[in-house]
């Protein structure tokens, strides 16, 4: 197989999905498909009854092609174009998560022209700061996302005065790769406050979408291959005070697909610099942008362990003509030689979807470790769809959680 290529472990993805729906119980989950749009991966996710969270018109079309049902698709994004709004209306998606007053007015006018009805959730910027890289914070006032708490009532009034829009609820998304659960606790408490405030103003909220953001363990992916769904949902169970007919949705991306993908690459050259030893690999920022874009650190392992006890220090860098094309600096790993195969772990989310052809690079191919007992397992699951509760029964009866 020509390197670099992506290898996806569909068995691990399936285990992750089983763990997720078990702990989510009656919470509704949408998969944020921007994290990974691979057809096989998306197909497997739809077989577990998840909805989709889309951020472009093309993602909506792709989600439909992969089998997500249209009423289970939500559409977020600060810059939805008229054409994308028409695609969404044409396909009767479940909900628009709107991010500004002007966008709401545009959706209203297009829906009127098309004689369509649109469900609207207002994306609120809760001004909750989170412990993550500044480029993946989305819920503080200086970010471009959502509307302020003070603006909600004005938008609600506007929606109520139309006959083709309905308010379905509120939407939040505070950022990504969040591992400090206090951040989610703050979000839950802020949401309680907003719901109380709206209740006092005579507005009842029956749908809440709390976004995504649950982080994964990039340092110890082998030890912790599955995100901590249990404690994540427990934070909301313990801190969110909403009445029982309020439906609570989440939109998870990274925590579902992050650990199931690896990028395999070969060492092209070893170069001794003046103060540094470089391992130049055949994967670059065009194959995996996260290190260059967010200073993200992925674990890198050598596939054949020749001298496990003698590690050397390398800067592991790509071939692209950019100084930011660095995967790890001062990284300790077994001695590397030209031709060695390296595995970059935890590349399932925001990996292949961000590939570019800069430097006229070829696009990496995808290979898969297939699921076992695929047909029998999926039949059981299909029978249980679409309700999570019956899936949960299947899981607790040990039919799908071995």
Ligand X SMILES: *Cc1c(COP(=O)(O)O)cnc(C)c1O
Chain residues that interact with ligand X, rule: CB under 6 A? 32, 34-35, 53, 55, 76, 173, 176, 211-214, 251-255, 349
CB of 34 to ligand X, least distance (A): 6
Beta strands of 135-194 (E only): which ranges? 165-171
CB of 52 to ligand X, least distance (A): 11
Closest to ligand X by CB, 254 vs 328, is: 254
Closest to ligand X by CB, 253 vs 364, is: 253
d(CA 93, CA 62): 13
Closest to ligand X by CB, 296 vs 320, is: 296
Helices and strands (DSSP H and E) totals, the chain: 12, 16
Residues facing 96 on adjacent strands: 75, 120
Q: What string of DSSP letters covers 13-82?
A: HHHHHHHHHHHHTTSEEEEEGGG---HHHHHHHHTTT-EEEESSHHHHHHHHHHT--GGGEEE--TT--H
Closest to ligand X by CB, 89 vs 210, is: 210
Phi, psi for residue 135 in degrees, rounded to 5: -75, -10
Closest to ligand X by CB, 171 vs 302, is: 171
Beta strands of 104-148 (E only): which ranges? 118-123
CB of 336 to ligand X, least distance (A): 32
338 neighbors 280 (Cβ within 8 angstroms): no
Which ranges of 266-350 does DSSP label H, i.e. alpha helix? Answer: 290-294
Closest to ligand X by CB, 76 vs 384, is: 76
The Cβ of residue 144 has, within 10 Å, a number of other Cβ atoms equal to 10
CB of 179 to ligand X, least distance (A): 11
Closest to ligand X by CB, 34 vs 298, is: 34
CB of 220 to ligand X, least distance (A): 19
CB of 171 to ligand X, least distance (A): 7
145 neighbors 173 (Cβ within 8 angstroms): yes
CB of 213 to ligand X, least distance (A): 4
């Amino acid at each position: 197989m020509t390197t670099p290529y992506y290898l996806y472990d569909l068995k691990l993805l399936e285990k992750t999905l089983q763990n997720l729906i078990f702990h989510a119980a009656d919470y509704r989950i949408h998969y944020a498909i921007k994290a990974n749009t691979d057809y096989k991966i998306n197909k497997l996710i739809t077989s577990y009854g998840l909805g989709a969270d889309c951020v472009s018109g093309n993602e909506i079309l792709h989600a439909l092609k992969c089998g997500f049902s249209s009423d289970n698709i939500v559409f977020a994004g600060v810059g939805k174009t008229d054409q994308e709004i028409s695609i969404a209306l044409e396909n009767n998606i479940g909900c628009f998560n709107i991010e500004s007053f002007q966008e709401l007015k545009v959706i209203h006018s297009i829906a009127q022209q098309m004689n369509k009805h649109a469900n609207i959730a207002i994306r609120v910027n809760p001004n909750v700061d989170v412990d993550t890289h500044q480029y993946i914070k989305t819920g503080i006032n200086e970010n471009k996302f959502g509307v302020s708490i003070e603006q909600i009532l004005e938008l609600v009034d506007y929606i109520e005065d139309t006959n083709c829009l309905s308010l379905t609820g509120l939407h939040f998304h505070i950022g990504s790769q969040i591992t400090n659960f206090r951040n989610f606790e703050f979000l839950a408490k802020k949401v309680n406050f907003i719901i109380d405030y709206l209740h006092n103003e005579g507005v009842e909220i029956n749908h809440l979408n709390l976004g995504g953001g649950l982080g994964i363990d990039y340092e110890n992916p082998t030890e912790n291959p599955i995100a901590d769904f249990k404690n994540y949902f427990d934070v909301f169970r313990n801190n969110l005070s909403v009445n029982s007919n309020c439906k609570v949705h989440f939109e998870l991306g990274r925590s579902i697909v992050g650990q199931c993908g690896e990028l395999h690459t070969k060492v092209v050259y070893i170069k001794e610099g003046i103060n540094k030893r470089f391992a130049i690999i055949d994967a670059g920022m065009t194959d995996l942008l996260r290190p260059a874009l967010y200073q993200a650190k992925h674990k890198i392992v050598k596939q054949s362990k020749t001298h496990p006890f003698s590690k050397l220090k390398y800067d592991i860098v790509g071939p692209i003509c950019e100084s930011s094309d660095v995967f790890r600096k001062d990284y300790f790993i077994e001695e590397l030689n030209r031709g060695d195969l390296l595995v970059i772990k935890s590349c399932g989310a925001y990996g292949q979807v961000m590939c570019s052809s800069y430097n006229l690079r070829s696009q990496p191919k995808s290979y898969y470790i297939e699921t076992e007992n695929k047909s029998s397992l999926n039949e059981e699951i299909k029978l249980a769809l679409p309700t999570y509760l019956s899936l949960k029964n299947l899981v607790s009866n040990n039919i799908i959680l071995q």
